[in-house]
Amino acid sequence: MEQFRAMRRIRQQLSQEASVEILQRATSGTLALMGDGGYPYAVPISYVYVDGRLYFHSALSGHKVDAIRRCEKASFCVIDQDEVSPARYTTLYRSVIAFGRIYIVEDETERVAMARRLGDRYNPNQDEALQKELEHGLKRMLLIRMDIEHLTGKEAIELVNERERGVSHDPERSTRPCQ
């Protein structure tokens, strides 16, 4: 297993449980791969998180597929919160980065199961429509799996301080002490 850096600002580090919750809640992130000519290639993509793995779907060919075939190391970033606070000259953020190895799924049982999981996630309770889509589209689709080796989450120090003071920060509500 690779050696990953420890977070420098450890007080801002999210727990593994909180990081996984963000992966389960969010609907898209940015997949970073080693692209053409040694340049990083980062692509926004939808996904599903299942038991320490991320699954994506893709066309059969393209820049992303070439990069995966060339180098199995990847990272995936999800932004859970991104609220600019101009008066404080800061951003109230919460994000997660997963590092791991990425593969094209060859096993047909896993391909079908994960294509179904992706379909259910983004279009729930549409079993008949999903079945038709899989019957027609699965042969033109790659399923990609990223085995997470290291997962780290971080949030703005202002959010840490608010939580420690018993203040709830929810962009949907005004900030006030919890009761």
pLDDT at 177: 35
Q: Compute the distance between CA of residue 165 and CA of residue 108 in angstroms, rounded to an integer.
A: 51
pLDDT at 178: 32
Contact 111, 138 (CB under 8 A): yes
Q: Which of 2, 29, 42 is nearest to 148 (CA)?
A: 2
pLDDT at 172: 44
Please report, for residues 1, 42, 59, 131, the alpha-carbon distance to residue 75 in angstroms, rounded to integers and kept in the order given: 15, 9, 20, 31
Our measurement of the distance from residue 22's CA atom to the centroid of its chain's CA atoms, rounded to an integer in Å, reads 8
pTM score, two decimals? Answer: 0.85
Helix (H, G, I), strand (E, B) or coil at 155: strand
Long-range (24+ apart) CB contacts under 8 A made by 84-92 are 85/158, 88/158, 90/156, 90/158, 91/156, 92/156, 92/158, 92/159, 92/169
pLDDT over 70 (residue 179): no
Phi, psi of 4, deg, nearest 5: -110, 150
pLDDT in tens, 37-90: 999 999 999 999 999 999 999 999 999 999 999 999 999 999 999 889 888 888
Residue 74 neighbours by CB distance under 10 Å: 22
Domain map of the chain by residue range? Answer: 10-177
Q: Compute the distance between CA of residue 120 and CA of residue 114 in angstroms, rounded to an integer.
A: 10
**Span of 15-19, 29-33, 137-141 with lowest mean pLDDT:** 137-141
pLDDT at 168: 66
Contact 75, 47 (CB under 8 A): no
CATH node for 10-177: 2.30.110.10
pLDDT in tens, 109-167: 999 999 888 888 888 888 888 788 888 888 889 999 999 999 999 998 899 888 888 87
Average pLDDT, integer, range 30-37: 97
More confident: 32 or 131 = 32
